[in-house]
Structure 1
C-alpha cells in the first residue's frame, strides 16, 4: 500500500524534471545543432543563424516594425510576430544615407545582429555596439565587436538606427505634437533595440542584467543620450564612451533651424510634404549642408522635454548611476583637417559650419590664444580636438564622479609609422581583431580608418583585455584607477601605458555643453 501511494508523487517528480529539462533546452535551442544553422526562439518567432568559426551568428533580426509610410518620423513600434523559422544569415539593410549624388540603404533598416558562443546554462555578459558616423552614416555591420564573443565568451550585439533627417529631424514646430518625438527617432530606435535585448538575449546565452552599451564617435554620443533618457533606464548597467559624451543633444531652437534649412534645400513651404516625399530626396538635400567635417554636429538627439526631459548634466545629477568607461584620443581632429576639408586651414567662417554661429567665437578665440605659442596647424588641431571632444568628455566625467558612480577615464596616445592617435584609431586596438584569420571576420569587412589589425599587438592585447574585463566584471582591472573628484587620474595608452594625473584638462566654462548651437 505504501508503495502504491508513493507512485503518483514519484511520477510527478519525473514529469517536473522532464518539464524543466525541456524548458532549458527550449531556451538554448541554438545549442541543438541544425543542418542549416542554429535556431533560437525569440518573442517574435524562431530565427535561424549560421555557424562562423566558434561563434553562432544571427544577422538581420528585426527589432521593430519597418519605419515606413505612416511610421516615418514616428517612434519605433514593436516588431510583428512571424510563423515558422526566419532565416537570419544576412545583414539587414543599413539606414538610408549617402551624398547629394547617390544614396544607399533603405528606410526599412531596424535590424540587429548577435554573435554568441554556444549558449549554456550559465548566462554570459552582453556588449551592445552603437555605430558612429556623425548621425548621418554607418551601420551595425561595420564593427568588430564580435571579437569579444570569440575571445572573451561575451554575447555581442549590434544594430542599425535611423540616421540624419529620418532619425533626428525636429517636426513638433512644423507639424504639431503628434510628431513631438520626431527629433529623437534614432534615439528611440536605440531604446527599442535595448528593450529587445532585455527581452530576448537570454535565449542566445546572454544575461539581460549584465549589459554594457558601447559606442564610438556619434555612437558614443547616442549612448550619452541614452544615459539621460528615462525610457532607457534599467536596460543596461554600464557604458563605454569612446570619443563622445552628451554634446550632441540639441536645443529645440537649433533643431528647428536645421529643419527649416532642409525645407529650404527641398524648396518646400509646407513640412507636411516631408511625410510622403521620396526618402532619397531627403537624404540628397541634407547632404548639401550636413556632409564632411561641416556636418559633424548638425544632427543629433533633441532636448524635446519628453524623450529627453532635462539638460543632460542636470539630469545626471539625480539619475540612477551606472558604471562608465570613457575617453578620447590625443589628436582627434586630425582625421577631419586633411586636404579638401572645410576645416583644413584655420578659418573663423569654417568654424560656423562645425559649431554654429553662436559657438564658433569661443573656438576662434581659443585658437588665437593657442597659436601664439604653437605653429598654426598644431594649434588648430589641438583646439578643434578640445572643443569637438575633450571638453565635453571631461565635463561629463567630472559630473559623474561628483555623484560617485565608478568612472574610468582614458586617453589614446599611441603613434608609430602606421598609427596616429586620431579619431577612431583606437578601435582596432580595442577590438584586437585577427583580421583574415577568423570566419566571423568576413562578416564585418568595411572601409574605415580603424579597419585591419592593430599595428602594436602588445598594446592591442592590453586595451582589449581592459575593455573585456570591464564588460565582464564592471571594472577594467589592475593598474587603472577610477577617476574621482579627489583623484583625477587618466589611463594613458601608449608604448608605456600608465595611469597619470589628468594631463592638461582643458576647461572653458563659457562654452556651452551643446556642441552645435544655431
Structure 2
C-alpha cells in the first residue's frame, strides 16, 4: 500500500481507535480483528430492498454505496393551499402498504434548480436517511441542514450524500428538504393572526427532528444521541436550532460550519416586507397571499414582480435586496433571540459545539469574476474601498503585515473572508467558551487545493462550500454518476486524505462529543486564553490563536462600529 493510501486507510480506522473501549461492549467488538472494511462488507451486503416500519407506515429503501438509503420520506403534511401555507407544518400522513422510498422528494420552491433533482414544489417536507443497517442498534445520528442561505438548496445534493459517512463510521445520517425564502419566512402574524406565527422554515426543521426522535430507532439510530450540523445557510439554521426551545430536547451536540448568522429581524420589519409583497403583487387583502400560485410569490422574492408597481425599486433597491434575502425573525417565542449576537444560547449550554470554516471562503463568491484573481495594488484598494471606505488602508496594512508575501488578490480573499466569515466563527467560539458549561472546538479547513479557478492561474485553496464533500467524504464521485464534471473538483491524494481526516473527526464528535481521532493531534477545546484551533489538512495541526494579529484588528474595527 502506498503512503497516501495507507494514510487514508488509517483515517478510516481512526474513529474506531477513538471509541474502542465503548465498542468492546457492543456487537462491534470484533472490529479490531476483522478490520472495519471487512466488518462493514458483512453488515451492509444484506437486504437489497430493506423495509422498515415507522409510526406512519412501512418504507422500502435501497442499497446505495454499501449503506441502506431511504429517500423522500415525508416528515410533515401538506403546507400548500389557503389553509396550510405560511403556517407551522402539520404531522406527517400515514399510509397503508409499503411506501417506496427510493426516489428523492421535491426540494423547496426556489430560484433555479439542480440537475437530476425532482421539480421544486411547495409541498417539500421530505427527508433522506442513510444507515449501515436498520437493525435496532443505537448509532449516533448526524442531522444535516443544507446550505444556500435561507433561500436555495436541498437535502438531495450529491456532495452531501450520507452513504459514505454511514458506511465508514457506523452512523445514521439524516437530511431534510424544508421551506425556504418567501415560503419559509414570509411573516403574516400581525396581518392575519397568531396561527401565522412565522419562522415556518425553522419549524419544518423542528418537525424533521421530531420525526427523527420518534422513528430513527427503527433505522438503527439513537434518538438520544443526535448531532445537528450545517454549512453556510445550514450553519445559520443550526445556530437558530441551538437557540430554539422547541428544538432543545431533540438534539445533543452541534457543528456550525462557515456560518451565516440568522440575523436579527424583528416582527415589525418582517410585517413591512409582507406589505411590500402585497404592493408588488397588486393586492389589498393579505389573505390573497394564501391563494396566489407559489411561482408568483417567488417572483416577488427575486424582484421580478416589482415591475407591476412603477417606481417600487426606485430609491430603495439596496434595502429591497437586503430584505428579500428572507431569513428568520426574532419573535421572542419560536426564536427568542439572535443566537451568538451577544452571548451563547443558554438553553444549549450543556451541548458541545464545533465551529469554524474554510480558509479561503471568499474565493467561492468571486468565481464569476476572473479579474478578482489577477488584481493590482490599485485594484485591491478600489474594490475594498466600496466596502470599507476610509478604513481600507488600515485593513490592507494589517493583512499585509501578517501575510507579507501575499499578492493583492490573496489579500482581497483574506480580508473578505475575515469579514464576515472568520469574525463570526470566532465570535461563536468565544461566547461558547466564555459560557463554560460544555466544550467548543474551533477549526479552519486549511487544505490548499492546487485546482485553479477556471480561466486563471489562481489555486482555489479551500473556498466556501469545499468542506461539504470533504466532511461527507464525497471527494471521489460514485461509479456511474451522471452529474457533469465539476471544474473545481480535486481528486488528489492530499484532498482524499483531508476528507478522510475531516469525516472521521465529525463522526467521532457525533459519537462522543469529542472530535479527536487517532493519527492526528488531540483536538483540545477552545479557550479564551489560548484560542486553540485545529487546522484541518493532510496532516492536521492544533494552533493557538492562528489569526491573532488580524483578529485583534477586526475586533477593534467591530468595536468602532465599522463592521457588523
Shorter-normalised TM range: 0.7 to 0.9
How far the C-alpha of 1:488 sits from its partner, in A, is 1.0
Is 1:433 matched with 2:446?
no
**For 2:361, which of 312, 332, 353 is the aligned residue?**
332
SS in 1 for 2:421: helix
- Confirm or deny that 1:422 pairs with 2:463: yes
Paired positions, count: 467
Aligned to 1:23: none
Of 291, 294, 299, the residue aligned with 2:326 is: 299
What is aligned with 1:288? 303
Contact 1:427/1:450 (8 A) holds in 2:
no
- Partner of 2:128: helix, strand, or coil? strand
1:482 aligns with 2:525: yes
2:351 pairs with 322, 334, 337, which one?
A: 322
Q: Name the counterpart of 1:370.
A: 395
Please tell me whether residue 91 in structure 1 is matched to residue 123 in structure 2.
Answer: no
Segments of structure 1 that go 5 or more residues without pairing to the other structure are 1-29, 353-359
Describe the SS at the equivalent of 1:71.
coil
Deviations 1:100-128 (A, max 9, x none): 9xx95000100001111123343111111
Match of 1:497 in 2: 540
The correspondence of residues 113-512 of structure 1 with structure 2, limited to 5 A, is: 113-142=128-157, 143-179=160-196, 181-182=197-198, 184-244=199-259, 246-288=261-303, 298-313=325-340, 316=344, 318-320=346-348, 321-339=350-368, 363-364=388-389, 366-371=391-396, 378-404=410-436, 405-418=438-451, 419-433=460-474, 435-437=476-478, 453=491, 456-478=495-517, 479=521, 480-504=523-547, 505=551, 506-507=554-555, 508-510=557-559
Between 387-396 and 195-204, report the one with greater CA deviation: 387-396
TM score, norm. by length of structure 1? 0.80
The answer for unaligned runs of 5 or more in structure 2 is 1-42, 305-316, 374-378, 401-406, 452-459
Q: 1:432 to 1:396 in 2, by over 3 A?
A: same
Q: Which residue of 1 aligns with 2:27?
A: none
2:250 counterpart SS class: coil
Distance between the aligned counterparts of 2:409 and 2:280, measured in 1? 33
Are the aligned partners of 1:428 and 1:453 in contact in 2 as well (CA < 8 Å)? Answer: no
Q: Which moved more, 1:140-149 or 1:232-241?
A: 140-149
Distance in 1, matches of 2:391 and 2:148, equals 27
Conservation of the 8 A alpha-carbon contact between 1:159 and 1:193 = yes
**C-alpha deviation, 1:193, in angstroms:** 0.3
Q: Pairwise mapping of residues 68-83 of structure 1 onto structure 2 (< 5 A)?
A: 68-69=80-81, 70-83=83-96
Cα deviations across residues 121-148 of structure 1 (Å, max 9, x unaligned)? 4311111111011211111111223221
What do the CA deviations read for 1:315-358 (whole angstroms, capped 9, x no partner)? 735323211111011221221134459x9988999999xxxxxx
Contact 1:134/1:296, CA 8 A, preserved across alignment: no
What TM-score do you get using the length of structure 2 for normalisation?
0.74
**Post-superposition offset of 1:385:** 2.0
Q: 1:204-227 CA deviation, whole Å, 9 max, x = no partner?
A: 010111111111110111000000
Structure 2 CA distance, aligned partners of 1:411 and 1:212?
Answer: 20
Q: Deviations over 1:49-98 (max 9, x none)?
A: 11234211110110000211111100111112111111111001111111
Are 1:54 and 1:150, in contact at CA under 8 Å, matched by a contact in 2?
yes
Give 1:384 deviation, angstroms: 2.9
Seen in structure 2, the aligned counterparts of structure 1 residues 348 and 310 have a Cα distance that, compared at 3 Å, is farther
Alpha-carbon contact 2:44-2:132 (below 8 Å) kept: no
Higher mean C-alpha displacement, 396-405 vs 244-253: 244-253
CA RMSD of aligned residues (A): 3.6
Equivalent position of 1:4 in the other structure: none
How far off is 1:200 after superposition?
A: 0.2
Query: After alignment, is 489-498 or 74-83 more displaced?
Result: 489-498
Cα distance 1:396–1:325, how it changes in 2: closer, same or farther (>3 A)? same
SS in 2 for 1:208: strand
Secondary structure of 2:72's partner? strand
Q: Evaluate the alpha carbon distance shift between residue 155 and residue 48 of structure 1 in structure 2; reply closer, same or farther with a 3 A threshold.
A: same
Residue 48 of structure 1, CA deviation: 1.0
In structure 2, how many angstroms separate the alpha carbons of the residues matched to 1:447 and 1:388? 31
**Counterpart-to-counterpart distance in 2, 1:322 and 1:226:** 12
Distance 1:255 1:387, change over 3 A: farther
Identify if the C-alpha distance between structure 1 residues 378 and 297 changes in structure 2 by more than 3 Å, giving closer, same or farther. farther
Q: Separation in 2 of the partners of 1:449 and 1:187?
A: 33
Select 1:59's aligned residue among 71, 75, 97.
71
Question: Given the superposition, is the C-alpha separation of residues 248 and 104 from structure 1 closer, same or farther in structure 2, using an over 3 Å criterion?
Answer: farther
CA distance in 2, matches of 1:206, 1:173: 41
Matched residues in 1 for 2:122 and 2:91: separation? 16
How many angstroms apart in 2 are the aligned matches of 1:234 and 1:31? 31
